[in-house]
A and B are shown apart, each in its own frame.
Chain A
Amino acid sequence: MTILGQISLWLALLVAAWGSVTGVLGGSRRRPELIQSARRTTYALLGLLTVASASLLTALLRHDFNVAYVAQYTSRNLPAVYTIAAFYGGQSGSLLFWAFVLSLFAAAAQWLTPRRYETLMPYVSAVTSAVTFFFVAVMVFASNPFERLPFTPPDGNGLNPQLQNPGMVVHPPMLYLGYISITIPFAFAMAALISRRLDTGWLHAIRRWTLLSWTFLSIGITLGMWWAYVELGWGGYWAWDPVENASFLPWLTMTAFLHSVMIQEKRGMLKKWNMSLITLSFMLSIFGTFITRSGIISSVHSFTQSHVGYFFLGFLGLTAIALGWLLWTRMPGLQTEAQLESALSREASFYFNNLLFVGMAFSVFWGTIFPILSEWVRGTKVTVGPPFFNQVNIPIGLALLALTGVGPLIAWRKASPQNLKRQFAVPVAAGLVTAAFLAAIRYGDFYAGMAASLAAFVVTTVAQEFWRGTSARHRLHGENYALAFARLVGRNRRRYGGYIVHLGIVTYLVAFSGMAFKQEMEASLRPGQSTSMRSPYGHTYTFTHLGVSQYERLNRFVTAASVDVSRDGKRIGVMSSEKRQYVDSFNRPTFNPATEAAIRSDLREDIYIVFAGSVAGTEEAVYRFTLNPLVWWVWFGGVVLVFGGVIVMWPGAGPTRASLRRALPGYAVTLAPFQRGPTDRPVERPARVGTGLAAGDRDA
């Protein structure tokens, strides 16, 4: 079966090369047969990479340990779900997963993109085929998932215990989906540059793709935090690890793009900037892979290091050169169509919002690569850890939080004093009252206090917007408040979904600030012995060690230490933290024992208990007890964020078939002479004259 996968990879390499060439030639020479060939190439790639992926999955599920990848990442007693997850748990498998998903997205882009963008599509298929070519080439020449061993071991190494966690089943694919789907907007941007069709058409074509990519990245990052929290056992969820940073970078630039694209749509401004942002996002997704694979910077994700990182560096360099050349030669078509009218306008606030997003991305990038720079310049390696990143990024994050409240309420073009007063009086008052209250109760941390005050400001702006919109519908249409609210959101999904995303961000930032009040202690306890600690809320927690038990479970040997927990004398329950020694099917240990934390969450704080080890092989246990405020809200913020993202990208109702049928026979359509108004976006010529529908209607 693996020979089929091997052949499929080689064929995919050739087909991808063919697709890249025919796409560019077909588009530039307007040769329909080449255009058609390039289009079919994307479907052929999907077929070939599906066969290759199925081959690897079959080898994994059949425990074909003669395949090096299968022997390295699975064992006979590995649960089936993790055997399947091992598909992307190692390097070459993850490259195949990447190429497969990319081919799926590329085919979907070809299939789903409306015909009015057909001049862009040959170049889109050329770019997606070129990127696919790169990934398949890395597999074929440097990291082949179907490589065979000279012998067949009786069992495999098994999967890294840290990856044997439900979070790891979904976290990597979600992050990969985010990274990979950026390729589609990037391909459209490149297509617009190559074809010199630099109007807003390509922006409309990629709107859902960018949202999809951003949503997947958001889910992937949140799940990564959750995995780090429950699995790594250090009591936190974000450590500014280089690989965490690498996932955060494209998220920041994509978020900047989602804001700045509105200015181009509304005012025809920021064309070069938007083109650069989408390309930068793509390059940062490749940079993330380079960081993960190269091992150039030490990271907790060291299980994926190898020499293929430098292939990615070369690819990054080529992409940068191609983009630079295209931008330089297409500069005249990227001139702005309008200018700012006032510093007090939504456009100006978006300018600064973009500056801060990209500034934050730069500071994270700078901190991530600074150890390498230092080694180059001074010959001395330095460590850039959380203290550096917190110091640099927290002020930027707070400024962004403030703009989250300002941006949506300030008027387009020019805000008058009346507009400012009307929109901001109540939210500013809410922020100030919160700040005064926190100062009065001597809230311990300055930044946490700032975050809470700004959060109150932003939440009030969003609540005010929802209230005004809902009450206006209630007044105008006589709808009850619930219906008015639902219709308000349903009919302005982009706007109100965006507000929900803002609420998610606010929830995140306030929850992050809770970590400033984290409490930790270590204790060694004999059975029946207790220790106490005080939480930031003033509660006294008492932990009584119950004992240590050992037993076998699935593919591991478990040592569990249990603690009876009470709060202010009231019993909460028993919590057990474990040491897990994973074994192969011959009962031989496969990795060092892994630690499973015991976590109990409520809305205020998490009790996080880690069994650090047994004292001299007895039931006397060493524990680390941690009280983490507001962690539940981190996960809730993630849910709100993704919910908002889904609302924004949910397809619009569009015209019904019935309305189309009504419009077709006997109706003549007169196109009024087009005059661009101050806030109009350019309207394209209808694709189907006679339906009475403007071409952009479905996308709006």
Chain B
Amino acid sequence: MPERGYSRREFLAGVGGVALISRSWQEGQTRPPSPPGQPRLPGQDSLVGELMDPARAGKLRGRVTEYENDPFVVGIEEKLRCTCGCNLSVYTCRTTDFTCETSPAMHRRVVELVEQKKSAQEILDAFVAQYGESVLMAPPRAGFNLAGYLVPGILITLVGGALALVIIRQTRARAVTAAAKRGRGGPDGPAGLGEPDLSSTLPPDEQARIKAELEKLGI
């Protein structure tokens, strides 16, 4: 098998690559140890590197526990408002605003109550007792809050009903007037408004043709 020679470009690339690897290894060796106050976690081994500047990586986090993804916990947290003023639910805030100190604390409180085997309603009640009704993402359906839920629907239904009545009344009145005018042989409605009375002026076949054309046009 013929021996393959290296070109100058390949040789230089190889030397450069070795130099880069060597340098990055040296940098890894000289990297400072964990900053004070950053204890190593159990299970943290040498495969996990440390950040150059942890202070600029945002708030440091703990490992995700089973409760963070527990649908029961998440369901409760979605009904609770974070009290930091962000207007988000505890779940959304703690998984979005990673600088917030309030939502993680509220999450811990939820987990505590879950561990005490409290039901979802009991947990919500505990938060309402502590923070007031405003801690709920939607007001409870009782008392004055019912107005919040029902007024739009009632108004739309009432106005819709009234509108339907007006339409029915108008169309009936119009039909009666039109019938009366047809009886007198007069035009249908004032100043030509409304459908012209074709029967008084046109032969039947022409009426049928015009009606068919109007139907086609959707008029």
Residues of A near any B CB (own CB < 8 A): 232-235, 239, 241-242, 298-300, 302, 337-343, 348, 351-352, 355-356, 359, 362-363, 366-367, 370-371, 374, 377-378, 380-388, 391-392, 396, 409, 411-414, 416, 418-419, 422-423, 520-524, 526-528, 547-548, 550, 557, 559, 579, 581, 589, 592-593, 595, 610, 612-620, 622, 624, 675-679
Bound-state CA distance A366–B56 (Å) is 43
How many Å from the CB of A245 to the closest CB on chain B? 12
Given A352-B160, A614-B51, A615-B63; A341-B194 close (CB under 8 Å): yes
B99 A593 Cβ-Cβ under 8 A: yes
Closest to B196 in A: A678
Given contacts A522-B64, A617-B38, contact A298 B85 (CB under 8 A): yes
B54 touches A615 (CB 8 A): no
Kindly state the separation between the CA atoms of A384 and B147 in the bound complex, as whole angstroms.
13
In the complex, are the beta carbons of B92 and A234 less than 8 A apart?
yes
Contacts of A374 in B (CB 8 A): 139, 144-145, 148
Distance of B132 from chain A, by nearest CB (Å): 7
Are the C-beta atoms of B49 and A547 separated by less than 8 Å? Answer: yes
Query: B41 and A615: CB pair below 8 A?
Result: yes
**CB of A630 to closest CB in B, whole Å:** 20
B17 within 8 A of A: no
CB neighbours (8 Å) of B145 from chain A are 374, 382
Complex CA–CA separation, A383 to B38 (angstroms):
38
Measured CB to CB, the residues of B under 8 A from A are 34-35, 38-41, 44, 47-54, 56-64, 68-69, 79, 81, 85-89, 92, 95-96, 98-99, 132-139, 143-145, 148-149, 151-153, 155-156, 159-160, 163-164, 167-168, 170-171, 173-174, 191-196, 215, 218-219
Q: Evaluate contact between A339 and B56: CB separation under 8 angstroms.
A: no
Choose among A339, A342, A409, A557 the residue with the greatest number of B CB atoms under 10 Å from its CB.
A339
Given A340-B167, A366-B148, A370-B148; A241-B87 close (CB under 8 Å): yes
Complex CA–CA separation, A356 to B157 (angstroms):
10
Asked whether, in the complex, the Cβ of B61 is within 8 Å of the Cβ of A359, the reply is no
Within the assembled complex, what's the spacing in Å between the Cα atoms of A28 and B148?
Answer: 46
The closest CB in chain A to the CB of B84 belongs to: A298
- How many pairs of A and B residues are in contact by the CB < 8 Å rule? 244
Label chain A's interface by main secondary structure: mixed
20 extra interchain contacts, Cβ-Cβ under 8 A, other than A521-B69, A589-B56, A616-B38? A359-B156, A359-B159, A370-B139, A374-B148, A378-B144, A383-B135, A388-B149, A391-B149, A411-B218, A414-B195, A419-B218, A557-B53, A559-B51, A579-B57, A579-B58, A613-B59, A622-B63, A624-B95, A677-B192, A678-B195
**Contact for B54 among A300, A547, A617, A624, CB less than 8 A:** A617
Contact A614 B63 (CB under 8 A): no
Chain B hits for A413, CB < 8 A: 194-195, 219
Contact of A234 with B138 in the complex, beta carbons under 8 Å: no
* Also in contact, A388 and B138, with CB within 8 A (given A550-B56, A617-B35): yes
Q: Which residues of A contact B156 (CB under 8 A)?
A: 355-356, 359, 362-363, 396
Q: Bound state CA distance, A377 and B51, in angstroms?
A: 54
Q: How far is the CA of A676 from the CA of B58 in the complex (A)?
A: 71
Contacts of A679 in B (CB 8 A): 219
Q: Which residues of A contact B61 (CB under 8 A)?
A: 524, 612-615, 622
Residues B132 and A526 in contact, CB atoms below 8 Å apart: no
Known contacts A355-B160, A388-B149; A581 and B137 CB within 8 A of each other: no
A550 surroundings in chain B (CB, below 8 A): 51-53, 56-57
Which of A343, A386, A557 makes the CB contact (< 8 A) with B171? A343
Q: Decide: B60 and A593 in contact? CB cutoff 8 A.
A: no
Give min CB distance, A625 to chain B, whole Å: 10
What chain A residues lie within 8 Å of B62 (beta carbons)? 615
* Min CB–CB distance A284 → chain B (angstroms): 16
On chain A, the residues within 8 Å of B192 by CB distance are: 675-678
Contacting pair B81 A385 (CB below 8 A):
yes
Q: Please name all residues of chain A whose beta carbon is closer than 8 Å to the beta carbon of B47 when the two chains form the complex.
A: 526-528
What residues of chain A lie closer than 8 Å to B194, measured between beta carbons? 341, 413, 678
Closest to A301 in B: B87
* Cβ distance B155 to chain A, nearest Cβ, rounded Å: 7
Instruction: Pick from A391, A528, A619: contact of B51, CB below 8 A.
Output: A619
Question: Known contacts A232-B96, A422-B215, A524-B64: does B174 contact A616 (CB below 8 Å)?
Answer: no
Q: Which residues in B have their C-beta under 8 angstroms from that of A366?
A: 148, 151-152
